[in-house]
Amino acid sequence: MRAIVISEKDNVATALEDIPAGAQVKVRVGAEEREIRVATAIQFGHKFALRPIPKGGEIIKYGEVMGKATVDINRGEHVHVHNVESQRGRGDLMAKEAER
């Protein structure tokens, strides 16, 4: 099963093929090779966590912050819109603030 980690700083990997639930995936993080068991099926192009990410923790891909966890995310868990929010262009948060 193939997946890629772009920067050593990243805490997510991107699947380079459809990965079935429970599969062991070898990923290279810098010089080191790690093995991660994915919790659920991960579609081609989707991400999974390389290590536990607490609620509010930063999601790092390309060595940069790409969002924050909205719940605790386990190692091997699918990382996507259901558990990550953007920090940018959030008119919804501004509208909520205005209501208060």
Partner 1 sequence: MEILGYVRPWGGIGIRNHVLILPVVVCAAEVAQRIADAVPGTVAVPHQHGCGQIGADFEQTKRTLVGYGSNPNVAATIVVGLGCEKVAAEQVAAEIAARGQRVELVVIQKEGGSRRAVEKGVEIAGKLVAETARIAPQPVPVKALILGLECGGSDATSGLAANPALGVASDLLVAAGGTSILSETPEIMGAEHLLARRAVNDQVARRLYEIVARVEEGAKRMGVDLRGANPAPGNIAGGITTIEEKSLGCIYKAGTAKVQGVLEYAEAPAGPGLWVMDTPGHDVESVTGMVAGGAQIVVFTTGRGTPAGCAIAPVIKVTGNSRTFRNMEENIDVNAGTIIDGQETIEEVGRRIFSLMLAVARGELTKAEKLGHREFAITRVGPTF
Query: CA 3, CA 54: separation in Å to the nearest integer?
Result: 22
Query: CA 30, CA 79: separation in Å to the nearest integer?
Result: 21
Least distance in angstroms from the C-beta of 87 to partner 1: 7
Amino acid occupying residue 80: H
Question: Using CB under 8 A as the criterion, which residues of the chain lie in contact with partner 1 when the complex forms?
Answer: 4, 6, 14-16, 43-47, 59, 61-62, 64-67, 79-81, 84-92, 94-95
Least distance in angstroms from the C-beta of 79 to partner 1: 7
Query: CA 85, CA 66: separation in Å to the nearest integer?
Result: 9
Residue with Cβ nearer partner 1 (37 or 44): 44
